[in-house]
Structure 1
Amino acid sequence: MHTVQILLNTKTCSQEMEKRFRAMTHIHNVCVKHGNKLLSRLEHDKAYQDAMEKRLEASKKLDGLQQKVPSNRKEERELEKQVTAMEKEIKSINKTLNTIRMDMGLSKSGFESWLKKCGSRFSHLVSSQQVQAEAGRVWAGVEKVLFGNGTKLHYKKEYELTTITGKSNANGAKFHPETMTVEWTGLTLSCKLPNRISEQHYIAEALQGTISYCTISRKMFPSGWRYYALVCVRSDAPVNGRTSGKGPMGIDPG
């Protein structure tokens, strides 16, 4: 798996491209607001907080048991029983916690389902799978809050959202290698190939494989936004070639 970055010709539709990124920024922030609301509800849910305290106590007990060193075989067997029992208790508590989260809609599928209604308002700009992918991106932030060192979800300013990704090449931004164009909900974007023949050949070689999906990316330059197609290909990247993403073309081995 590797990614090919190709510059897009957007001179005649730059305002339309900005409109689409503006729409996705709004979708992202609506999802962030929803996520923070659910996390706040979870923080004040008595059943969830009680279960969290029980899991903390059980985890401490398990750590204590695992640090014990038995002096004989009998003590070893008894210790193994206690460890097994405590692991089962923690597993049961985790199941309870997961059920509470799922019932609240705190899951990837829950976020995708919830955001579907908001995304439908912008179906003329972004696809359903692109909205799902953005919901998945916000959910990844929720997971950091729930299971990592995250504290809260953060809103994005319009210029901070730089990619709109999909989940397959059959929906959203669809890359067509035979015409070197990207079809995206009413827009047909042509790829701007590099002038050097060797680089053109390298792109052609890098695109040999099954196209998994296409992400639309943008980067700010003094002259304004430049837009790129990031084509994810299911094959090994060519051995020799550019790996920098700074020019009109680049290869990320993945």
Structure 2
Amino acid sequence: MAGAKTPSYVLTLRLQTESWQKHILEKRFEIGRCLYNACLEECLKRYKKLQHDSRYQDLAQQKPSKEKNRQLSDLRTEYGLSEYAMHAFVQPMQRHFRKHMDAHTAQKIATRAWKAVERFLFGAAKRVYFKRFGEMGSLEGKSNSAGIRFKSHAIHWNGLMIPVIIQPNDVYAHLALQDRIKYCRIVRKRIRGKVKYYAQLILEGVPPQKINRQTGKAKHPRGEGVVGIDIGTQTIAICAPNEVKLLELAPSVDDIHPEKRRLQRKLDRQRRANNPNKYNEDGTIQRGNKEKWVWSKNYIKTKNQLAELQRKLAEKRKQDHNKLANWILSLGNDIKVETMNYKALQARAKETTMNEKTGRYNRKKRFGKSIANKAPSMFLAILDRKLRYDGKTLKKIDTFSAKASQYNHITGEYVKKRLSERWNDMNGCKIQRDLYSAFLIMNAKDHLKEIDREKCFATWERFKRLHDKEVERLKNSGNKLLSSMGI
């Protein structure tokens, strides 16, 4: 695809669809779903045949090597396990639906199916998932010259011409449309119970700078300097030469789990009431029962309420993350952060432990809910993407070498602390643990494996003053603070 390796960004515009156009789009999305599932099933069939090949079985028992990888790659190609083999597989099916589905869009669907299987083949995913009815959320082309294309402020696709909504005073959209369009995507969303369609234009280059109409200045100016970040499951500590902050991640996001559980219990009751023949006497589902499930109108209504709850949460979270990322970029462009395995933090604890005080077994739950609500990894991805627009990247220090949570720059020693210990004693001065970690990360050496002790001493006094100011602000804020802040 032309321009695939150049920088890209996305412009999303609402489509002004009429009723008859929505019907056609619904049909095309359903065709796309069927093509995707067919490609996925074919990939899995070919993989099963490959597994029964004696050559593959012999290679699977060998130790990893370049020669083994080459032979495995040749075998996968021989059995048609490749992206271009899927393109050839989907071509006859696409011809059957050529009135609704063009060749480029069908090939992109085949590529999506292959990417899902590829992740499964190489151990990046445990399994692949087929798309159920209504789950196909987007369709995209390969270029802006054929298939789904944007021309004259409208989306053109196999006889459809759907205008996009661009406000006259939307300066950002008008500036963005001056860049070359790589390809187009049509996205289907359900908002407040209604299906709406959007055009996503993948544009070449970097996003135009947003301007404040009243002042004429940039809305989100970029700063220069080093910024250290210590990010947790719900909080983020930020340390820059002239700013020290301890903030809650995505503060607009409410804890929806009580409401979510209520709707899930309601769904379960409705499902059991509508399908008594699908359950055993002990309440478990009959596995061998092939009868069709019955979904009542109230069940579908409750299901849509749950989906809308999740959608609002996602929108609030994304908006908060973008605001925070823009503010951090105004502090500096050399941003350092400590690496963290959030997947491991989400998983339940493996070891069974007992509470010494109560004598009861400790819960094995860890940080699954808070990570799902606050999405710290998503925030880092947004921050890194915004940095790349300026030719920078998010610098990740080596957690195991630097040990920012254990290091004391005054004594030069490493001391392990329990998770409940939120304050450090620095020669009689109480320093908040997360803020101190952000301070150490800011002063990490260029190779990102060690803390620069001399820099720590040079910037300590200013950090201490800003730290005390931030702690005082938190104490007098009047807001309910998270327990992990220790304030």
Q: Say whether the fold is shared (TM-score over 0.5).
A: yes
Task: Indicate yes or no: 2:81 matched with 1:106.
Answer: yes
Cα distance in structure 2, aligned partners of 1:17 and 1:207:
24
Q: CA deviation at 1:239?
A: 1.2
Q: Percent identity?
A: 27
Q: Map Cα deviations across residues 87-135 of structure 1 (whole Å, 9 max, x no partner).
A: xxx2222221111110100011111111111122111112111111111
Task: Indicate yes or no: 2:49 matched with 1:41.
Answer: yes
What residue number does 1:8 align with?
15
Q: CA deviation at 1:223?
A: 4.4
What residue number does 1:120 align with?
95
- Runs of 5+ consecutive residues of structure 2 not aligned to the other structure: 1-7, 212-218, 220-313, 320-384, 390-487
Cα distance in structure 2, aligned partners of 1:144 and 1:159:
24
1:230-249 to 2 correspondence within 5 Å? 230-240=200-210
Q: What residue identity is the alignment partner of 1:238?
A: P
Q: Specify which of 192, 205, 208 is matched with residue 222 of structure 1.
A: 192
Task: Indicate yes or no: 2:173 matched with 1:165.
Answer: no
Asked if 2 retains the 8 angstrom alpha-carbon contact of 1:175 and 1:182, the reply is: yes
User: Which protein, 1 or 2, shows the higher relative CO under an 8 Å CA cutoff with sep ≥ 6?
Assistant: 1
Secondary structure of 2:61's counterpart equals helix
Asked if 2 retains the 8 angstrom alpha-carbon contact of 1:2 and 1:233, the reply is: yes
Q: What residue identity is the alignment partner of 1:113?
A: A
Q: Map Cα deviations across residues 43-78 of structure 1 (whole Å, 9 max, x no partner).
A: 222210111111xxx33xxxxxxxxxxxxxxxxxxx
1:1-254 to 2 correspondence within 5 Å? 1-12=8-19, 13-54=21-62, 58-59=63-64, 90-176=65-151, 179-194=152-167, 197-199=168-170, 201-240=171-210
Asked if 2 retains the 8 angstrom alpha-carbon contact of 1:208 and 1:235, the reply is: no
> Which segment drifts farther, 40-49 or 17-26?
40-49
Cα distance in structure 2, aligned partners of 1:181 and 1:217:
15
Q: How many pairs were matched up?
A: 212
Cα distance in structure 1, aligned partners of 2:69 and 2:205:
39
Q: Map Cα deviations across residues 191-224 of structure 1 (whole Å, 9 max, x no partner).
A: 1224xx432x221111111111000111002342
Q: What residue identity is the alignment partner of 2:175?
A: E
Secondary structure of 1:198's counterpart equals coil
Q: CA deviation at 1:146?
A: 1.3
Q: Normalising by structure 2, what TM-score?
A: 0.41
Asked if 2 retains the 8 angstrom alpha-carbon contact of 1:8 and 1:191, the reply is: yes
Q: CA deviation at 1:158?
A: 2.5
Superposition CA RMSD, Å: 2.4
Instruction: Provide closer, same or farther for how the CA distance between residues 46 and 152 of structure 1 changes in structure 2, counting only shifts above 3 A.
Output: farther
Q: CA deviation at 1:149?
A: 3.4
Q: Radius of gyration: which is bigger?
A: 2
Cα distance in structure 2, aligned partners of 1:96 and 1:145:
19
